[in-house]
Amino acid sequence: MKKKYFYNDQLEIKNKDKKKPSHAFNRDIKRVVDINILLNRVKIEKQTEVKRKTIFYTSVVLMLSFIITFITIIK
């Protein structure tokens, strides 16, 4: 049976008998989560973060030292 609806002053005709496909995910599937894998991933991310920070700080210190030596040589 067709129904008539008005949305924003426009006529929209829909067939209520038609079923729309369900886009919901299958929630019955259970996934196995290994806590050791997750903890190892966090540990590796921490190590890479520490490496990035040390590289950044050493580069900043080196740049400052080069600038200071350059300024002292010019004077």
Digit-coded pLDDT (tens) for 52-68: 999 999 999 999 999 99
**Contacts for 6 with CB less than 8 Å, ≥ 6 apart:** 12
Per-residue pLDDT at 1 exceeds 60: no
pTM, two decimals, is: 0.51
* Mean pLDDT (the chain, rounded): 80
Identify whether 12 is part of a domain: no
Number of folded domains that form the chain: 1
Query: For the chain, what percent of residues have pLDDT higher than 90?
Result: 53
Has residue 53 been placed in a domain?
yes
1 close to 16: Cβ distance less than 8 angstroms: yes
pLDDT at 3: 59
Reported as type and span, the H/E element at residue 46 is helix 35-74
In a domain, 5, yes or no: no
62: containing domain: 33-75
Q: Is the pLDDT confidence value at 42 over 90?
A: yes
